[in-house]
A and B are shown apart, each in its own frame.
Chain A
Amino acid sequence: MTPQKTLFDSIDPEIIETIANRHEEISKGASASSKVMAALAIGSIPVALAALSKEAYGQTPADVVDVLQFALTLEYLEAEFYNRGVANADVMAIPAADRPVYTTIQTHENDHVAALKTFITARGAVPGAKPSFDFTAKGNVPGFNFGAGQYATFQVLSQAFEDTGVRAYKGQAGRLINDKPALNAALSIHSVEARHASEIRRLRGKKGWITGNSRDDLPAFTQGIYNGEENTTQAGLDISALGTGNGGVDAVTQSFDEPLTKDQVLAIVSPFIN
């Protein structure tokens, strides 16, 4: 009889499968670590499972799930925004040439929603329900309802959501560092959001990248999306001088996108959530 068999036979097979599938170090034949063995020695399955879980995920699964649920909320927001935008493309009179941009992003955001739900479920949690959204942002975008003559406002919100998305995922990556499949998924979404952001910005006649903490022509209530992007300290080193001959400090700030904390992101998106 092996200790691993005792452990695995005693707890929910789905949890075992989730952990084992995601982490090769727990695969069959791998020896349990001293913490797991110690827990088993005192006959405590819950303690052994807790030790195993923490070792497998580094952060507790609850922490990883929290990141995924947070990301799901953002993707729900984006998916609904583009679903409604595409559905109202005629009403808003979106030029035919621009429409493939929005149908592409719409598909991606809905795919992100589906993937995050799968990841959350695979970690033994229930995906959060889609909130109801207020795209006037509690009156900050007066009268916006995907209506006639509102394409320009639609584009403003699109830029705001995409630039926020990039910073939001970046700020959470560290919490996923020990759950590699979740990290990979988050990073592969993160860079797609950056592609979207660049496209929308350029479609609006702006640069694809963010200069300093400039919100360009976006309304003042979006400033939180850009605060901190003026940073020129990377890995603890002041790199502002690297712009000399290479576009100056503006280029230094363009070269690095900055993270936002979860609280900062929630402050930005909460006006859009009822």
Chain B
Amino acid sequence: MGEQKLMVISSADQLLEGKTRRDFLKLVGLGGAVIFLPSVLTNCSNNSGITGPPGSGSPLVIDFAKGDTAVLQFAYALEQLEADFYTKVVANFSSSLTANEQTVLGEIKNHEVIHRQALKTILGSTNDFTVHTNYSGLNFSDRASVLNTAKTFEDLGVAAYNGAAQYLTSTANLLVAGKIVSVEARHASAIRDLIAPKTSSQGDSGTSFAPKSFDDVFSPGKVRTAAQAFVVEQLTFSNAPSTFVQGPNNNG
């Protein structure tokens, strides 16, 4: 076979780059040696480096055969998205947002980061994946863009937890989800009230802080489709539940 080939990988992200991946596969196929530096593991947890259009990345697989763990992983993926969004919002505060609005958004950022880190801690060894985001050119210095995207994420988060709960078999895990979802609902209400204060407008396009008598209950598949628009990785389910029990709005 000739001389031994050598390749050094310092970051898992490198393996997602086209040329590196081709070289890696070619090298493995030839029986070459690959050195993974310790940074491969440590660098997995940062949220930079992997870019591209939504859905263009490698599959991020949630395997529902794992039961409650899969539901918590699904929640962890969504909380990564939310935490990343608000972190960028806070980092890009502009005078288009009032001081009060910045306070509210800053506190929500804290909550979402804490949710993300809490789920990461609870998942333990099964937390080893990172969501990379793409907001498709969202103008973070534009008040309306920021608040409307926040509204989308908060309403989606509420519907996601409400809909994923039915797949939990442990009451302890159900309680954790319940403790988080009502805080997401408090966020949704606050954001909506910043956009359209004290309004009663109801329905799917309603602008009220609480636009329906019963919040939406969305299936994981419906949530995945909505979240995919902001995620580079291909959000993928395996062993996805074959049944979904609809909520009162029958729109999940």
Q: Which residues of A contact B175 (CB under 8 A)?
A: 170, 173-174, 259
A171-192 to B contact mask, C-beta < 8 Å, 1/0: 0011001001101110111111
A255 lies within 8 A of B213 (CB):
no
Smallest beta-carbon distance B86→chain A, Å: 11
A254 lies within 8 A of B214 (CB):
no
A181 to B245, CA, bound (A): 7
Q: Which residues of A contact B184 (CB under 8 A)?
A: 191
B178 lies within 8 A of A170 (CB):
yes
A203 lies within 8 A of B198 (CB):
yes
Number of interface residues of A (CB under 8 A): 57
Closest to B176 in A: A235
Number of interface residues of B (CB under 8 A): 60
A207 lies within 8 A of B245 (CB):
no
Contact flag A170-B182 (CB < 8 Å), given A234-B122, A254-B111: yes
Q: Which residues of A contact B214 (CB under 8 A)?
A: 111, 115, 185, 188-189, 192
Closest to B245 in A: A180
Q: Which residues of B contact A112 (CB under 8 A)?
A: 213
Of B109, B172, B188, B217, the residue contacting A184 (CB under 8 A) is B217
Q: For window 228-266 of chain A, which residues contact chain B by CB distance below 8 Å? A: 234-235, 237, 239, 242-243, 246-247, 251-252, 254-259
A170 lies within 8 A of B179 (CB):
yes
Contact flag A104-B202 (CB < 8 Å), given A191-B162, A191-B182, A239-B114: yes
B163-191 to A contact mask, C-beta < 8 Å, 1/0: 10110110111111011111111111110
Smallest beta-carbon distance A66→chain B, Å: 16
A251 lies within 8 A of B186 (CB):
no
Q: Is B91 an interface residue (CB 8 A)?
A: no
Of A115, A209, A242, the residue contacting B186 (CB under 8 A) is A209
Q: Which residues of B contact A83 (CB under 8 A)?
A: none
Q: Which residues of B contact A192 (CB under 8 A)?
A: 185, 210, 212-215
Of B161, B176, B216, the residue contacting A234 (CB under 8 A) is B176
- Given A97-B197, A100-B200, A195-B188: 10 more A-B contacts, CB < 8 Å: A24-B243, A174-B175, A184-B165, A187-B161, A194-B189, A209-B107, A246-B110, A246-B113, A247-B111, A257-B182
Which A-B residue pairs are the 7 nearest by beta carbons? Answer: A174-B171, A247-B110, A194-B185, A111-B213, A194-B182, A100-B200, A198-B189
> CB within 8 Å of A: which residues of B?
104, 107, 109-111, 113-115, 117-118, 121-122, 158, 161-163, 165-166, 168-169, 171-176, 178-190, 193, 197-200, 202, 208-210, 212-217, 243, 245-249
Show 14 residue pairs from A and B whose CB-CB distance is below 8 angstroms, ordered by the A residue.
A104-B208, A104-B209, A115-B213, A180-B166, A191-B185, A193-B182, A195-B210, A198-B189, A202-B189, A237-B118, A252-B114, A254-B183, A255-B180, A257-B179
